[in-house]
Amino acid sequence: MRYIVLAVVILTFFKSTIGSWIFIALAAILELWVILANLTKIRVKNENNKYTPKEVEIIERYRLFFKYPFVSRILSPAFSAIHLAVFPLVPWLLIKGLYIQGVIIGLNYFVAAQLAVILNPQLFLHDNLDKGRIKDFEQILRFTEDMEAIDSALKKMYLSKK
């Protein structure tokens, strides 16, 4: 999926008007799917107290990551690509005089980053903690608890099926 985003970005440099509208449509379709899929609530069946209360909270909070793991792992890099594509596209579109498309794509900078984290919190929690990007002790503690709960819940989900 991220290669499709890359192809559309390249197209935008050659055919700015068409490429920018295709980029906007692609981003809108992906964002709409995530928003609609995220509207459904899931209830964790905690039979035999398999999960801790923290794990249940994490599973319900990051429901897309647990409910659609394959799709989440495909779309998270796509949203990261959309997020990063803003940097070359917005100046290019502004130079070309396509202000409306430039502003719409520029706003995707904020939306796509958040959706990438929602779709794959495990990657972003591990990345932020392992690289020491978090300086506040309370946030480090909360991120560590969330990361451990995600890892533990995933182990319980996949090990119990064997």
Whether residue 161 has pLDDT greater than 60:
no
Q: What is the pLDDT at residue 147?
A: 85
SS3 state at 120: coil
Per-residue pLDDT tens digits for 33-79: 998 988 887 777 777 778 888 888 888 888 888 888 888 888 999 99
Q: What is the pLDDT at residue 24?
A: 96
Task: Give the start-to-end residue ranges of the domains of the chain.
Answer: 2-159
Mean local confidence (pLDDT), 11-24: 95
Q: What is the DSSP letter of 131?
A: T
- CA dist 94 and 63 (Å) reads 38
Mean local confidence (pLDDT), 21-36: 94
Scanning the structure block, which residue is given the tokens 């490429």? 19
DSSP strand E in the chain: where? none
Task: Categorize the per-residue pLDDT at 160 as very low, low, confident or very high, splitting at 50, 70 and 90.
Answer: low
Please report the sign of the dihedral spanned by the C-alpha atoms of residue 138, residue 145, residue 110, residue 37: negative
Please report the sign of the dihedral spanned by the C-alpha atoms of residue 157, residue 129, residue 30, residue 12: negative
The half-sphere exposure of 106 on its side-chain side, counting CA atoms within 13 A, is: 11
126 or 162, greater pLDDT: 126
Residue type, 121: P
Residue type, 15: K
Whether residue 97 has pLDDT greater than 90:
yes
Mean local confidence (pLDDT), 121-126: 82
